[in-house]
Structure 1
Amino acid sequence: MTPWPNPFIEQRADPFILRHEGQYYFIASVPEYDRLEIRRAVTLDGLRHAEPVVVWRKPSTGPMSKLIWAPELHRIDGVWVIYFAAAHTDALDDLGMFQHRMFALICYEPDPLSGQWQEKGQVKTPFDTFALDATTFYHQGKHWYLWAQKAPDIAGNSNLYLAELENPWTIKGEPVMLSKPEFEWECRGFLVNEGPAVITHGDRLFVSYSASATDENYCIGLLWVDSDADPLQASHWHKSLQPVFITSDENRQYGPGHNSFTKTPEGEDVLVYHARNYTAIEGDPLYDPNRHTRLKLIRWQENGMPDFGIPPADTHA
């Protein structure tokens, strides 16, 4: 059972919750894909009814003018950062893919809801291709940038890449590819690895990620590395042969994915994700607004591996 209502917040996909100095911050994709808004509350449950504050709206033209996807809010060395994906058009390219790139906003003021946000432009990577779903984490005394991107020479939509950060909007050194779609469950509808999220437990660092098309095939996979191993050595990483969180027909929860992690005040680990409660989607699943934000606790097994469990059923309409 989950201690929170399910759905937790309706019509918010790609949810991200940051706990910082005793407060919770929530940011996610809005169905209109046209703005970035933040909610803040002193409790997790308080986020449900917290007033969303719009901190940025897309311009009418330019590289950040279309399809604002999957924002994340972070605090890096005393600076607020929002990473998000955006495109200059909603038309597909010659490969039939959207034309997103990753961008960063910076706020130097203490309050991210009232402070001024500055556009720092595109986060450049070695190849200028479809890119999305960036996250960041602190590990081994360094700040890291982890994201999904299309490789020109690899089939599929996106793989997962890791690089050190020079500053919040600039990567440092040569990225390493951590994972690409290779198993059947990563290649349903589309060949996808995206939406990475980081959690540590014991002597391991884990990266969850989402795979396959954004309908009922969407699911979560898992990578992990020893905490003292060099994360830029791809051979140090392990990959689960099976997904760790999948559709539950019994509970009518379809396509659970694009997760983040947070903690309760008591230190319990919380999985933050979206899922639909039906499969009969009219048209492109991307434009169906009912990927609702949901929460559930994660349990840890004796071997140190996470148990994501099964997506719980809705508890209210």
Structure 2
Amino acid sequence: MATNFLPLYLLLLINLLIFTDAKSVGVCYGQIGDGLPSEQDVVNLYKRNGITKMRIYGPNQAVLRALGGTRIQLILDVPNESLQSLTNQYAASNWVRNNIINHPDVTFRYIAVGNEVDPNNDNRRFVNFVLPAMKNVQKALKDAGLANQIKVSTATYTGLLSVSYPPRDGAFASNVQGFIEPIIKFLVENNSPMLANIYPYFAYAGTPNIDLSYALFTAQGTVVNDNGREYSNLFDAMYDAHYAAQSRLGGANLEIVVSETGWPSGGNKGATVENAGTYYRNMIAHMKRRSGTPARPGRCIETYLFAMFDENRKVGQESEKHFGLFSPNQQPKYQLSFN
């Protein structure tokens, strides 16, 4: 028995380590800023801080080369501006070959085909390209024998919901349903997760009656009782609203990966270094507890914090420029533990 016990023990230990790593908190790596470190220095910064997951917003070859052999798991985006070209199968196959197959030592996890495409905003011009591009990228991965290893999805966001309160009533806007329902069907058929950008900060900043403590995970006790489901933080409520919305369209068993969440340290209501640090620390702690949400208890939620650095060249509200966990000189803005 002793000779058989050690291999079984090691197998269980390896499985445990893989499971633990697969559910750790990652960090998005945006590059719309001045004076940022080199791509290799950034990858080294991930490694020094025990950050095992990354999201990048386009196939930056220098980043992909730096990731080689690191085992950092990657979400790689197809930028919105590239979606139309990938509705051509030949172009999609070339994209997969150039950015995935040619980097066999990079641990790709998901391909996010488009980010926050929405029939109701400036991204509506991309709506008709998302699903065809997803299908073509999926076929290219399948042809390369990678479809079981790398999952194809798209990054949605709370702006697609017309109802988010109470969480169990979450629903996609009527003019969004025709866009999102076929995507949900595709994800279910291919056993891929939905990616969702979930920001309690924007809900707090844009809604007068949301208490800061509810958004920062610091509320004492239940804030919202949704027919027996008790919510003490806004993140869980927003997550469950997304889940309810997709469930109405056939996605009840579809996993949601939080592809972005964060809190700015300046530029708008509630955007302070203290509040941002509180949010990030409590978010990491919440994910480590693996308690799930009231609608989906006991589940691990794979989550990516936004973002690695402040990005001073981002457009939009001033707060958009202040989501970084690190300054460009690689010094941490907050004391966070990813291990």
Same fold by TM-score, threshold 0.5 exceeded? Answer: no
TM-score by length of 2: 0.29
Quick check: which one's helix share is greater?
A: 2
Q: Which structure has the larger Rg over C-alpha atoms? A: 2
Larger RCO: 1 or 2 (CA < 8 Å, sep 6+)? 2
TM-score by length of 1: 0.30
Quick check: which one's strand share is greater?
A: 1
